A and B are shown apart, each in its own frame.
Chain A
Amino acid sequence: MTWAWENRDLVLELFWRHAWLSAIPVVLGGVLAVPIGWFAHRKPRLRGAVLGVVSLLYTIPSLPLLVILPLVIGTGFLSPLNVLIALTIYAVAIMARTASDAFGSVSPAVVDAARATGYAPARLAFTVELPLAGPVLLAGLRVVSVSTVSLVSIGALIGVSSLGSFFTDGYQRDFTTEIVVGIVATVVLALLFDLVLVLLGRLAMPWAATVRSQA
């Protein structure tokens, strides 16, 4: 622990970097996946195809994806953009299915009642379906956030620094403490993200009990 204290500037710097590299994909993934999930829920015939493509993306292992992406999108090999885009792809892949299930969990009777009262489609989606799907969406986002935070470190292998740099550096120097500090910091960050999500959920949906994810 003395090592962590002596190197607190570095730990904090990488902690922040790691936080940004995780936060952006989680937010982007959520924003992109909710409409995809809603669409998949609304068009049952396309549901299989949409979710199939999405889950195919999830099948691609992370390290190879980080190697292939620069070629596909033309970014520099060491660019943090690769990590951001790869993790956004995974976030969408996990989240789209959850979102589709979340909209599926909204009682059709409620949706019919709102429609009968004269809710226009957009208002129906935003003021009835979205809030009612909220708890399940939040549960999905929590899964996405945990797995994103732990995946960011893989970027260190191709030179994108984060708390993962403690793993590569500690391994090269045969220095266990550095690795343990990196692991602890990553877990702390994951817990912080989870806490933020739960608090945001309480604020946005004070009526809902927190739904725990199954998987």
Chain B
Amino acid sequence: MSVVSETVDWFSRAATWSGQDGIPNRLLEHLGYTALTVGVAAVVAVPLGLYIGHTGRLRGLAVAFTGAIRALPTLGLLTWFALIVGIGLTAPITALVLLAVPPLLAGVYSGVESVDRRTVDAARAQGMTELQILARVEVPLGLPIILGGLRSATLQVVATATVGAYIGLGGLGRYIIDGKASSDYPQMLGGSLVVVVVALLIDGAWALAQSLTSGRRTRVLA
């Protein structure tokens, strides 16, 4: 039997769709890790990004930090954390958060910075407080770029959570790691295809959100 028909066969098996190792459960796990990670990363990165974007302070530090994290190999970070922290969710989620912060941070401060300084000055001249400027001018106008940061952070997490299966994380990466361990290529391929579809759908959803908000932007400016 060819790999393709074996993979089709894998998809058509009842066991592939039910139980702890079924696609619905693994998908939920994967989405859960992603939401948790992006949520925690946002708690750190959004306020910091708003501060950097609005005041222009710490910008050099943020750029350096972002670059440094990007140079760190994902797999190295995951395995290292797993050995230090031990089995459980803490190690992979911490590593995932660390990797999600830089794109998110960059998105938020670039978004705020992208707003025309004259618009900000006009808002200030109208008597808006700094917080009002941030909340009512900079965030709404910079929203497409801020969402862009969320978009790349989410994609990064979806991809890295797959790798996380290597250190015992659940989710869709299990099919690839378990399939490799038992030389079950159809399972690896099937799992990979599911991850790709999920990544494309999530990216599509973010793209939609971005285009909706940038539509509002043009109306505001017009």
Contacts and interface: CB of A to CB of B under 8 A. Distances in A.
B176 A182 contact: no
B75 A153 contact: yes
Interface residues of A, number: 45
**Secondary structure class of chain A's binding surface, majority of residues:** helix
A150 B159 contact: no
B110 A215 contact: yes
Contacts, number: 128
Interface residues of B, number: 43
A67 B188 contact: yes
Interface in B146-190: 155, 158-159, 162-163, 166-167, 173, 176-177, 180, 185, 188-189
A130 B144 CA distance: 30
A180 B80 contact: yes
B97 interface: no
Contact of A171 (B71, B79, B155, B200): B79
Interface of B: 3-4, 63, 67, 70-80, 82-84, 103, 106, 110, 155, 158-159, 162-163, 166-167, 173, 176-177, 180, 185, 188-189, 191-193, 195-196, 199-200, 203
29 contacts: A62-B163, A63-B163, A64-B192, A67-B189, A71-B3, A71-B189, A143-B70, A146-B71, A147-B70, A150-B70, A153-B73, A157-B163, A157-B176, A164-B75, A167-B73, A168-B75, A168-B166, A170-B79, A170-B83, A171-B166, A175-B83, A179-B76, A179-B83, A183-B72, A183-B73, A183-B77, A186-B76, A187-B71, A212-B63
